[in-house]
Structure 1
Amino acid sequence: MLAKRALSVAGGLAIIGWPFAVWLALSYPELHMLLPALALCFVLRLCALRGKTGALSHAFKGLAVAGALLTVASLWLRELQLLLWYPVVVNMVMLALFGGSLWSRQSVIERLARWREGDLSPAGVRYTRRVTQVWCLFFLFNGGVALFTCLAGNIHWWTLWNGMIGYLLMGALFTGEWLIRQRVKRRDE
């Protein structure tokens, strides 16, 4: 249990630390040694997800593989610019996952809500569908800006957006949605 927890933490740190490790590796050539450690963190993340099922778990496994492959390819091809594309891949995968769920019986957010809350009212189902749509717009916007920062080739802009601003916007969306959800739940009760 402790080993699995440590694997999850290492994988989480790889995701959060990715922009800063990439910035360091691109800005300071002597720090390219960070890249094998990053690839290892992604492999550890994949190991931590072993045995988990469901659409989110499969997406996270795919992202761990993508992170490891981009890191190894960057080292092998000596083309560190490949590292910049990971946030674009993350946003594309999440957009596909959330957007695709809008055509299924339950959206991603509805599944998560049912897992936490149990049964949902028809108003709750409509609300979770709307929240899924909002997340799709977020992934589209965030991925578009991440793509722009890759194409612009400015590592400082890339790091600022993908290492701070994108996370702050995601946190604001999580917080805002949670506050709205509390109000909606009180109104429906």
Structure 2
Amino acid sequence: MLWTALTAAVTLLYPLAIWFGHGQVEPRWLAALLLLAAATRLPAVKLSGAARWSVAGALVLAACALWSNLLLPLKLYPVLVNAAFLAAFGYSLTTPVSMVERLARLREPVLPPEAVLYTRRVTQVWCGFFIVNGGVALATALWAPEAVWSLYNGVIAYVLMGVLVGGELLTRRHFRRLYQS
């Protein structure tokens, strides 16, 4: 539980730390934050290929920032995270059990066929979200000032995820009423 809280705190504070540190601290020192973000993901490495790629990518980005002393590799971390989630969710669509179905079966081991189709559709929606969110994260990393990058990746992206989760919860309630009657 404490490890999960640390991971969430580092992930949420990372964009703000990059913004506040820009111009105050050399990027090679800010790379330590990315190393910390990668370290908090280490427990998931044994569970998921996407986690392994995400940690490896974070280490590459941190090494690039250390070597070049540029901020851009550090600003690309949200792009990497979206790509890793897209890979995990997208790959699950090529298997019989989608990512959202796996998560749903943790609470309800037996799902009716309609729910299986619904969870596959929700997985597709999340893939679309990761494509758009990752694209905006890339655009802000390449072309936006650090304050805009930080605002989008540290606030707006999380609000959008919350809206998607909330919308899905409302849709799921409606879906359950339709098929449990």
TM-score > 0.5, shorter chain as reference: yes
Distance 2:99 2:37 in 1: 26
1:11-51 C-alpha deviation (Å, 9 max, x unpaired): 222212111111122242279645425423421431x335x
Q: Does 1:162 align with 2:157?
A: no
User: Pairwise mapping of residues 170-189 of structure 1 onto structure 2 (< 5 A)?
Assistant: 170-189=161-180
Task: Please say if residues 70 and 82 of structure 1, whose CA atoms lie closer than 8 Å, have aligned partners that are also in contact.
Answer: yes
Task: Please say if residues 8 and 45 of structure 1, whose CA atoms lie closer than 8 Å, have aligned partners that are also in contact.
Answer: no
Task: Please say if residues 38 and 55 of structure 2, whose CA atoms lie closer than 8 Å, have aligned partners that are also in contact.
Answer: yes
* Equivalent residue number for residue 82 of structure 1: 73
* RMSD between aligned residues: 2.1
Sort the Cα spacing of 1:151 and 1:40 in 2 relative to 1 into closer, same or farther, 3 A.
Answer: closer
Distance 2:63 2:9 in 1: 18
Distance 1:44 1:167 in 2: 19
Q: Percent identity?
A: 41
Select 1:7's aligned residue among 3, 6, 20.
Answer: 3
User: Pairwise mapping of residues 84-103 of structure 1 onto structure 2 (< 5 A)?
Assistant: 84-103=75-94
| Structure 1 portions without partners, runs of 5+ | none
Number of paired residues?
A: 180
Q: Does 1:58 align with 2:49?
A: yes
Sort the Cα spacing of 1:41 and 1:97 in 2 relative to 1 into closer, same or farther, 3 A.
Answer: closer
| Structure 2 portions without partners, runs of 5+ | none
1:99-141 C-alpha deviation (Å, 9 max, x unpaired): 2211211111111111221111111011011101111111111
1:155-188 C-alpha deviation (Å, 9 max, x unpaired): 1111111111111000100011011111211221
User: Pairwise mapping of residues 40-55 of structure 1 onto structure 2 (< 5 A)?
Assistant: 40-46=36-42, 48-49=43-44, 52-53=46-47
TM-score, normalised to structure 2, is 0.88
TM-score, normalised to structure 1, is 0.84
